[in-house]
Each structure stands twice: as C-alpha cells, then as structure tokens.
Amino acid sequence: MARICIYGAGSIGCYLGGRLAAGGAEVGFVGRRGVGDELRAHGLTLTHYAGGDWQVAPDAIAFGADPNAAATASLVLVTVKSGATAQAAAELAAVIRPDAVVISFQNGLGNADTLRAALPGRTVLAGMVPFNVVRRGPGAFHQASEGKPEVEDAAELAPFLADFARAGFALRRHREMLPVQWAKLLFNLNNAVNALSGLPLQQELGQRDYRRCLALAQAEALELLSQAGIVPARLTPLPARWIPWLLRLPDALFTRLARRMLAIDPLARSSMADDLTAGRPTEVDWINGEIVRLAERLGQRAPANERLVALVHAAEASGGRQNWSGKALLAELRTSARRG
C-alpha cells in the first residue's frame, strides 16, 4: 500500500491526496466505497482559484474502504469529520505501524488529542487546512481560497517535507499549534452564518448584516479567549481583535480594505453549507460549539454562538433551511445576546 494514506476521502482528503499524488508521492485513500467507485471511474482533477490544474489518472489511484488499507503507511493524514474522529482513532489503533506519523487535518481543536489517546507511542500532530475545497463534479475538487496546510512541527516530519513541497504547498510548521487553531476557528465561526444564509461565501461576506453576525460571534469569542489567557496567532495583516471592527464597516469600505478576505472563488461555500445541502451532520459542535464550551469552563455564556449552534441543528433536523436574510439572522443573534 502507499507510503502516505489519506484517512477520510472527502473533499479535503481528496484534494490533499490528489495534489500529493500529482506531485509524485505514493498516496492511498481510505473512504466510502462510493467515493472509491467514483475515483476509479474518473480519477482526480484538482484545480486552484488562482490558476493551476492537476490530474491523477484512475489507474494511478489506490483506494480502500477497509482500515487495513492504512496498515503499511508511514504517514497518515486524518481528514474525517470531527464527529468520526473517535471511530477513526479506534480503527487506526488496530492497524497502523508503530512508527507511523499521524496528522489531524480537521476542523476544531481536540481531534489530535483524541487520536493521541487512542494511539499511544505514535507521533500524532495537530494540523490545519486553511482553505476551502469545492467539489465540482465526479473526482473534481477545487481549492477556492488561499492558504497552505499548517502543522505542528516535529522532527518526524522530515521524510515527508519534500512530498508536500513537490505538491506545491510546502507545510507551514509551528512550534505551538493551538494558537493557530484558535485563530482559524475564529474565521470558521462564519461557517454557520454562511450555511444559514444559503449564499456563496463571497456574496455572503459582501453583505454587511451577515458580517455583523460574524462580528458578534467573533467578539464574543475574543472576549472569552482574553479571559482565558489565550492569544490567537496572527494569520492576517490585522490582529484578530480588530477583525470584528473590520467586519462591521459599510460594504464599500469593507470591500476596499478586505480584498484578501474576499479572494474566494465566487461559487465557494463553507463545508457546513455543503453538509446541510447534502443532509449530512455538520461540524457546528466543533466550531461554534468550542466557544460555547469555553464559556462554560469560565462559568459564563456565549449566547450568539449558542444560538448559531441551535439554528444549524434546527436546519439539520428540518432538511436544511438555508435562506436566512442577513437582517433576520442579525436580529435573532442580537436578541439572544441581550437575553444572555
């Protein structure tokens, strides 16, 4: 089997694995049988919003639906949804090599810890994929926003750095990953707003009322992080604490000052929006829910984020309502904040 295993062949997993394979790495995928059938029929087509097109032929794809397909891998990239991490950890514990390196490229904060608990003695690293991936058709995956994979640094990564460099996204390594994860999570608080809007990200972020919803969620989170003594990493030219101010600006001024934030494929949506559309459970409990749990640890409330969690779960239960106007959603969150 392949030297690098993608454990969870969804949009992120297929894109990461496909780019690595297109760069010459020996890559295998573990996922649902239907995905395997699709890749064996169509191969992989990977594209980038700023240009770039990579192909992996069907006969070059190694795919397995059984965890044993990961047994010989030296590097395992875990890309399953956060709700499936515990199951993936148990499956991997039964099959992977003692010297295998595992990277969690997942949303949320605690997935690497879940993997470590199930994989004692292995090198398990926290990672992050900062960009959106859009599925454009059978085997076709499109990177819709900027960024390169980020990972907790470790000497055990050395044998694999060239694979990522040849793929065109050299790993950005960090001594401490948690501040980077918190910074990414602050941006991911928009996933719920985007999912409830039913709009592409660029169109949603172009409307002030939706941005004000995100600003409420972020400001609430930043206050709690400050109380907890947590300082998010700086991932943008502006410090994290200034972003809510930027989001509240009128549309014309925001558009001029936030061009980088709007450098997104016009059709891109959040993964949470895709999950609602497809009738899948979302990761809202591992994104906005992290803020709710932080507030609970501090003996406080996070009413805006609580309400976003509740609204997304309500949308899941009702078949995916995705037509909240910015005005209506903002009023809903402000009412919750006043009650909180």
- Per-residue pLDDT of 36-91, as tens digits, reads 999 999 999 999 988 889 999 999 999 999 999 999 999 999 999 999 999 999 99
Confidence of residue 322 (pLDDT cuts 50, 70, 90): confident
Q: Are 208 and 215 in contact (CB under 8 A)?
A: no
Confidence of residue 321 (pLDDT cuts 50, 70, 90): low
Q: pLDDT tens-digit profile of 163-209?
A: 999 999 899 999 999 999 999 999 999 999 999 999 999 999 999 99
Q: What is the DSSP string of 242-296?
A: GHHHHHTS-HHHHHHH-TTTT-B-TT---HHHHHHHHT---SGGGTHHHHHHHHH
Percent of the chain scoring above 90 in pLDDT: 84
H or E element at residue 141: strand 140-143
Mean pLDDT of 244-258: 92
Q: Which of 239-248, 264-273, 306-315 comes out lowest in average pLDDT?
A: 264-273
Q: pLDDT tens-digit profile of 209-224?
A: 999 999 999 999 999 9
Neighbours of 46 (CB within 10 A): 25
Q: Is the pLDDT of residue 316 over 80?
A: yes
H and E: helices and strands count for the chain: 15, 12
Using the structure block, give the residue that is written with the tokens 């694979």: 163
Q: pLDDT tens-digit profile of 141-157?
A: 999 888 899 999 999 99
pLDDT attached to residue 340 = 63
pLDDT attached to residue 2 = 67
H or E element at residue 54: strand 53-56
d(CA 58, CA 51): 23
Q: Are 125 and 152 in contact (CB under 8 A)?
A: yes
Four-residue CA torsion sign, 258, 260, 265, 268: negative
Q: Is the pLDDT of residue 13 over 70?
A: yes
For the full predicted model, state whether its pTM sits above 0.85.
Answer: yes
d(CA 340, CA 281): 27
d(CA 130, CA 339): 34
pLDDT attached to residue 238 = 83
CATH numbers and ranges of domains, the chain = 4-174 (3.40.50.720), 179-339 (1.10.1040.10)
Q: Is the pLDDT of residue 1 over 60?
A: no
